[in-house]
Amino acid sequence: MKEDSNLRETVIILWLISFITMLGIGLIAPLMSKYAQILGASNFEIGVIFGSFALARTFAQIPVGYLSDRYGKKVFLLIGTFFYGFFTFLYPFAKSVIHLIVLRILNGISSSLINPVAGAYVATVAPREKLGEYMGLFNSALPLGFSLGPLVGGVLAKWYGIEAPFYFCGALSFLSFLICLFKLKNIRINRDGSFTYVSKLIVKEEGTVKGTFFPLKFLRDRCFLSAFMVNLAYYVVNTGIIAYLAVYVGDYIGLDQVGILIASTNLTLGILQRKFGEIYDKTGGIFLIYGGLLLSALGLYLLSISPLYLKSIPLLLKMFSALELVAIGGAMYLPVVNSLAMKRVDIEEKGTAMGLFTTSLNIGMFLGALLLGYLADLLGLSNMYKVSSLILILVGIFLYLHIRGE
């Protein structure tokens, strides 16, 4: 009973840290494109600004995951939340696109110490038979925080200026730092593969930590590689929504309404993830991935043509419906791919494996920002969303061919 109590408390605290962090990120991400435009950025330069964040996370994340397996996870969460808040406070002082890129790189490095490490923490303490449920619960913090962020950010930008959300985001990150410092227990992995809660800030693991800084061996596992590719594709297309939606609909609706659209999408994604995680635990149903990819692809296609069809229906309602389909689809497959990736990973390698797995997020954001930014300049934003829909369909075909028989 004591162990169950500790598990629940730990997961709730990690959920709260991730929720508050994502709430802060959600405050500024949809506004970044508008802020960059004020500083004279093109669509491609906006892509570079978003991509630099992801690229920095990619290079930092794998060694961070490895080191968190060796020395405990709490210290990395503390460093990440503190410096993410510090660098976010500096955005309003940026005077050029280069300044924004530098700050995004520093923020990317800082953020690599937060959600990936927290996710590895949950994967370490969760019982194997409930891994889908707990990963679904933890992952719900990301879209739920991100759902409220754009709404709050849009209102703050409208009433107090576009700099206000950056200050508020920094303050939220410092709040996460304090919660982590005073409430989160550290863990030590024992020689037998179990773990123990400890009070020390830095812990040298008793167990033998396998692997290296760049553990590419996990990619040889079909389940891990399939999950990696699906997650990568999700963040490629999701970056197109986050980075360019405010520009795409800028002539039709205001920033506060863009915030409502993104908020409702991520709220749906967050609410449904735990339930679909439970369904996967009970059924082992890979069908959730196929169905989710198709549903999200349909939503992206409808988003791409939303200004053109059924003009008697308000544009805001059409975009809301399209983004809800994207969200429901994502809620179906995201808990599954997270569980699939960790399915065959030993407990002492969870941080290392999660570090590698979540580089799919960063690579997806980087490729999405640059590729979709280039396509937006070349083909227009509407056709960019059509390409995003096609990407999800192609990844579904790859998954079917790669994982059948597993």
Return the CATH number at 346. 1.20.1250.20
Q: What tokens appear for 270 in the block?
A: 């967050």
Whether pLDDT at 301 is above 90: yes
- Tens-place pLDDT, residues 174-211: 988 998 888 888 777 666 666 677 767 766 655 544 55
Whether pLDDT at 40 is above 70: yes
Q: How large is the average pLDDT for residues 37-58? A: 80
* Domain total in the chain: 1
Instruction: Write down the mean pLDDT value for the chain.
Output: 79
Distances (CA, A) of 160 to 35, 155, 259: 14, 8, 15
pLDDT, residue 247, reads 77
pLDDT, residue 1, reads 45
Q: What tokens appear for 363 in the block?
A: 């690579």
**Selection from 32, 20, 104, 19 nearest residue 366 by Cα:** 104
b/e for 83-109, b at 16 or more Cβ within 10 A?
bbbbbbbebeebeebeebbebbbbbbb
- Which H or E run contains 174? helix 164-183
What percentage of the chain exceeds 90 in pLDDT? 9
Whether pLDDT at 173 is above 80: yes
CA-to-CA distance for 149 and 182, rounded, in angstroms? 25
The confidence band for 77, taking pLDDT boundaries of 50, 70 and 90, is: very high
Most confident of 41-45, 84-88, 141-145, 245-249: 84-88
Q: How large is the average pLDDT for residues 11-38? A: 80
Residue 158: how many CB atoms within 10 A of its CB? Answer: 14
In angstroms, how far is CA 166 from the centroid of its own chain?
19
Segment among 33-42, 179-188, 338-347, 392-401 with least mean pLDDT: 338-347
CA-to-CA distance for 61 and 40, rounded, in angstroms? 31
Q: Who's near 289: CB < 8 A, 6+ residues apart?
A: 230, 332, 333, 336, 337, 396, 399
The confidence band for 126, taking pLDDT boundaries of 50, 70 and 90, is: confident
Q: 193: domain range?
A: 2-403
pLDDT greater at residue 182 or residue 246: 182
